[in-house]
Structure 1
Amino acid sequence: MKRINLKQVFGNGFFPSLLMLAIFFSSCNMTDSSKIPVIFDTDANNEVDDQHALAYLLFSGDHFNVEGVTVNATSAPSGYSDESDVSDHYEEAKRVMQLCGGFYGKIPLKTGADGSFEEIKNHIGEPEFDGHEAVDFIIEQAMKKRNQKLVLLPVGKLTNIALALMKEPAIAENVRIVWLGSNYPEPGEHNQDWDIASMNYILDVDVPFEMVLVRGGKPSGTAAVMVSKAQILQRMPGKGPEIDTPVTGRHGGDFTNFGDYSANLFSQYGMWGDPPGRALFDMAAVAVVKNPDWAETREIPAPVYVNGKWVERPNNPRKITLWEWFDIYGIVNDFFVTMDDYKLVKTK
């Protein structure tokens, strides 16, 4: 438990009443009903950021209720075969859930879309269309009565989310979509380009939609939220709860905690910059849901993406939220603090 300096909190010369102390300390811990309900939607086998985002989420049990994890398929990781289907992403998410404290089998993990929105959308009336497990799960969870909106947190393509909205439009008023994707107002970006039609569909649906911008190579996006390889290799080994049965990693080797697997991922994956490091794009998306003060937001009329360009629609009454200019120190520091002093999410 962290020590709190009451003088720093209340000021010199002031002695708080027992009632005020009770109110202050009770506010330090969120009740289960006040925690943020989340479904994490991921292409877990794509890079190294998905795994760290999922671990950060599962270790932030003082802020989140994780209702489930859904997966989708984008391209294979760098240096791998291009043949990476949705089962590879499922297996990587499963590894991380196991390594973070045996969550696999306790928190639902559902297989989502292998194909694209355009390929699947005309089949959603069928019992077993591509991605039906994840799509039906999202709908089921979104239709449950809660005291706050269910956060859909996609950090890959938007296929599962768009299909769920198309199949059951009523979920739009019950969810808040916080998507890691896009270089807006510039073109390009992996998550966006892997299924542009799904993004454009959501941009035209009346649903709370927030884009946590990537903006590769610029200081205003999550691409700037970097950790160095040296930081990971020094600080991550051994972090997280120990599990009894070792898990075989994506690159081989056996692991019994997430920290050792994190170090292995960074040892195997390409780095850039000086010092060499990697952006934890997806982890930053989890961070701003956890603490909105760690980035700036602005609201704009929803644009649309056509022929490789953003087309502005200034008179569009439908608004979306952009997240940009991230507090790199605050986010990265909280990531490592959370790894050091994790609070596992509760399971049902």
Structure 2
Amino acid sequence: MTQIGYADRIRMLEPPKGRVRCVLDTDTYNEIDDQFAVVQMLLSADRLDLQAIYAAPFHNARSENPGHGMELSYDEILRLLTRMDVEPEGLVFQGVRSYVGPEKVGRDAPAVEDLIGRARASSTADPLYVVAIAAISNVASAILKAPDIIDRIVVVWLGGDALEWPDTREFNLCQDVGGAQVLFDSGVPVVLLPCLGVVSHLLSSVPEIERHVEPHGEIGKFLAQRYKEHSDDHVGWSKEIWDMAPVAWLLNPDWCESVITSTPVLTDQV
């Protein structure tokens, strides 16, 4: 396994300067916040050089199984790009159809191969930033298949809950605990944005969305529609837009306080 020196690791965890080369790993159809993150990244081309978007697996009431969730996410990404007049060819890749799981098996997928290729074209001095807002299966599969990439990427992951939280039964982490263990145990630099206790404060409301998002063309209308569809009762209702947080850290690290700490050790008893 590739090892990273302490000085290099600390430097890689510092907020990047200049335009950031990055990829996005997203279970876009799982909820209503991934869509906002995708759009935010595409609209921030002056700061973010978004080179690829990977569809990630998920399984809940909206999908029949993880692979079906990945397919639904892929289709949702295409819907977003169509409304933004962005060509998906060479930009959007299907991800794995199964989790890494407790066996810690790296899965095959176009997204995994693309990530490995882009990572190997990067370096410790100029790493690729992997913005992950889903189960970490695509990223963990790439690490398992090509452990030499860990000193060439920085993973910015929305996953788990605050480290002082009594448990970490958060959706992205619990979908693939084995994948999360691979991530934390690999030694790859990780910028972790926990959900409960941290990103749970990133709330919006229907009036706010109607005022600041909906008026902005077809994509604004689409995002507002997705947001409103999440609840039948909008009176006094607000909703986390979790997945914008990792993107925000790259756009302006002053928007959120960061601390350097040891990588958590994740057991099976989440």
Shorter-chain TM-score tier: 0.7 to 0.9
SS of residue paired to 1:151: strand
- For residues 122 and 153 of structure 2, the distance between their equivalents in structure 1, rounded to whole angstroms, comes to 11
Distance 1:232 1:271, change over 3 A: farther
Corresponding residue number in structure 2 for 1:150 = 128
- For residues 149 and 260 of structure 2, the distance between their equivalents in structure 1, rounded to whole angstroms, comes to 22
- Whether 1:234 and 2:211 are equivalent positions in the alignment is yes
- 1:272 deviates by 8.3
- For residues 305 and 145 of structure 1, the distance between their equivalents in structure 2, rounded to whole angstroms, comes to 28
Tell me the TM-score normalized by structure 1.
0.66
- 1:208 deviates by 0.7
Distance 1:131 1:52, change over 3 A: farther
Distance 1:274 1:308, change over 3 A: farther
Corresponding residue number in structure 1 for 2:54 = 70
User: Percent sequence identity over matched residues?
Assistant: 23
The code of the aligned residue for 1:225 comes to L
Corresponding residue number in structure 1 for 2:11 = none
Q: Which runs of 4+ in 1 moved over 6 A?
A: 271-274
Corresponding residue number in structure 2 for 1:203 = 184
1:262-293 deviation line (CA, Å, top 9, x unaligned): 11112211278973121111111100111111
- For residues 74 and 192 of structure 1, the distance between their equivalents in structure 2, rounded to whole angstroms, comes to 11
- Whether 1:44 and 2:32 are equivalent positions in the alignment is no
Corresponding residue number in structure 1 for 2:248 = 287
- For residues 194 and 233 of structure 2, the distance between their equivalents in structure 1, rounded to whole angstroms, comes to 20
Indicate which of 116, 128, 132 corresponds to 2:109: 132
Corresponding residue number in structure 1 for 2:237 = 276
Distance 1:81 1:70, change over 3 A: closer
Distance 1:93 1:228, change over 3 A: same
Query: Structure 1: 5+ residue runs without aligned partners?
Result: 1-32, 125-129, 241-256, 310-348
Q: Is the 8 A contact 2:95 2:138 kept in 1?
A: yes
- Whether 1:184 and 2:162 are equivalent positions in the alignment is yes
SS of residue paired to 2:144: helix
Q: Is the 8 A contact 1:272 1:278 kept in 2?
A: no
SS of residue paired to 1:85: helix
Indicate which of 26, 35, 39 corresponds to 2:19: 35
Indicate which of 303, 312, 323 corresponds to 2:264: 303
Q: Is the 8 A contact 2:28 2:74 kept in 1?
A: yes
Corresponding residue number in structure 1 for 2:91 = 108
The code of the aligned residue for 2:110 comes to E
1:252-271 superposed matches below 5 A:
257-270=218-231
Distance 1:81 1:44, change over 3 A: closer
- For residues 192 and 43 of structure 1, the distance between their equivalents in structure 2, rounded to whole angstroms, comes to 13
Q: Is the 8 A contact 1:238 1:258 kept in 2?
A: no
- Whether 1:87 and 2:71 are equivalent positions in the alignment is yes
Q: Which of these two proteins has the greater Rg computed from alpha carbons?
A: 1
Tell me the TM-score normalized by structure 2.
0.84
- 1:119 deviates by 7.5
- Whether 1:214 and 2:192 are equivalent positions in the alignment is no
- For residues 54 and 64 of structure 1, the distance between their equivalents in structure 2, rounded to whole angstroms, comes to 12
Q: Is the 8 A contact 1:189 1:214 kept in 2?
A: yes
Distance 1:232 1:70, change over 3 A: same
Corresponding residue number in structure 1 for 2:8 = none
- 1:70 deviates by 0.3
- For residues 307 and 85 of structure 1, the distance between their equivalents in structure 2, rounded to whole angstroms, comes to 24
SS of residue paired to 2:180: helix
- 1:234 deviates by 2.6
Corresponding residue number in structure 1 for 2:4 = none
- For residues 21 and 261 of structure 2, the distance between their equivalents in structure 1, rounded to whole angstroms, comes to 26
- 1:209 deviates by 0.9
Corresponding residue number in structure 2 for 1:161 = 139
- For residues 65 and 81 of structure 1, the distance between their equivalents in structure 2, rounded to whole angstroms, comes to 31
- For residues 160 and 302 of structure 1, the distance between their equivalents in structure 2, rounded to whole angstroms, comes to 20
The code of the aligned residue for 2:220 comes to G
Q: Is the 8 A contact 1:111 1:131 kept in 2?
A: no
- For residues 139 and 237 of structure 1, the distance between their equivalents in structure 2, rounded to whole angstroms, comes to 37
